[in-house]
Amino acid sequence: MVSKQLKNITVITNKDKDIDLKITNEVIKILNKYNCNVNGDSKADLVICLGGDGTIINNARKAAIDNIPILGINMGRVGYTAELETDEVYLLEKIFTGEYTYEYRMMLKVNDTYIALNDAVIRGTTSHIAEFELKCDGKLLTRYRADGLIISTPTGSTAYSFSAGGPVIDPKLDCFCITPICSHSLNTKSLIFSPDSVLEIINKCRDETDMILNLDGNNIITINYNSSVVITKSDIRVKMLRIKKDSFYCILNKKMSE
């Protein structure tokens, strides 16, 4: 018998990844077996998202606003945010036998308006070195001369931040990580901040050029000279449905070796 909490299920597919909808149809077949209302008009009890990390992250933000859990099926290359691979779709049956848990992921809040699951990236709009001031809780902490700054969540620590030399952070933790991109100073190391911190990044480019704020891979706003971006922990959290019992570091080791 289908649990009331998981009766209405929305299936979202990146059709560029599942071109013939083969995997999507496998998912729907399993859900129909348990008499689920798939993509109905009712508010979803679960979102199942098929695609790469970008697709899953974008839909996870939307689901989090309505406190709807999400389960990702990897159809991309790495798939850190996905719970299942395409050859593991059969494990969806565990949802209906109660063999699942929820894992909550911290998100960023930017300028009290935007949210991000992975990261906020601030970079210059010219080929010149960008210059930043970083304040924490209203106090000047340091200055950077770099191509940009990455402010990541633990979930985003395995993405752009990692490529820029940042640390891997267990996604169950709550914290911020700031990693400079191609730093032109001795401030090349990442910094970790508590989730209660209020971070402010100020555009201090000497040629008074603009900067761009990018959230989870999407350009959001322009940051003028002497303007700032304020980043805090969001009250909204992503609720990920977990079926497998593999630890984060087990998954990380497997993904890194592929």
Here the CATH number for the domain that contains residue 124 is: 2.60.200.30
- Whether the per-residue pLDDT at 156 is higher than 60: the answer is yes
Is 53 a residue of the active site? yes
State which residues form the domain around 161. Answer: 108-233
- Whether the per-residue pLDDT at 5 is higher than 80: the answer is no
130 and 196 inside one domain: yes
Angle of CA points 48, 54, 59, to nearest 5°: 40
Place of tokens 């989090």: 64
Name the 3-class secondary structure at 53: helix
139 and 197 inside one domain: yes
128 and 225 inside one domain: yes
pLDDT in tens, 99-143: 999 999 999 999 999 999 999 999 988 888 999 999 999 999 999
> In 8-150, where does DSSP find H-type helix?
22-33, 53-65
Q: Residue 68 and residue 45: Cα distance in Å, rounded? A: 6
229 and 115 inside one domain: yes
pLDDT in tens, 57-100: 999 999 999 999 999 999 987 778 999 999 999 999 999 999 99
What does the pLDDT read at residue 163? Answer: 93
74 and 127 inside one domain: no
What integer best gives the mean pLDDT of the chain? 92
249 and 227 inside one domain: no
Q: Residue 166 and residue 216: Cα distance in Å, rounded? A: 17
87 and 132 inside one domain: no
At 51, the amino acid letter reads G
Q: Residue 39 and residue 10: Cα distance in Å, rounded? A: 5
219 and 136 inside one domain: yes
- Whether the per-residue pLDDT at 256 is higher than 90: the answer is no
Place of tokens 């019992």: 245
Q: Residue 58 and residue 39: Cα distance in Å, rounded? A: 18
Domain count, the chain: 2
**Global pTM?**
0.91
Mean pLDDT across the stretch 220-241? 96
Choose the catalytic residue: 16, 20, 41, 53: 53
70 and 154 inside one domain: no
36 and 129 inside one domain: no
What are the phi and psi torsion angles at 217 (to 5°)?
90, 5
Per the CB < 8 A criterion, the answer to whether 59 and 70 are in contact is: yes
Mean pLDDT across the stretch 201-210? 92
Per the CB < 8 A criterion, the answer to whether 165 and 137 are in contact is: no
What does the pLDDT read at residue 82? Answer: 93
Q: How many CB atoms lie within 10 A of CB 20?
A: 8
What does the pLDDT read at residue 77? Answer: 79
Per the CB < 8 A criterion, the answer to whether 49 and 56 are in contact is: yes
What does the pLDDT read at residue 187? Answer: 65
Positive or negative, the Cα torsion across 59, 125, 147, 113? negative
Q: Residue 201 and residue 213: Cα distance in Å, rounded? A: 11
Q: Residue 122 and residue 214: Cα distance in Å, rounded? A: 6
102 and 20 inside one domain: yes
Place of tokens 């930043």: 132
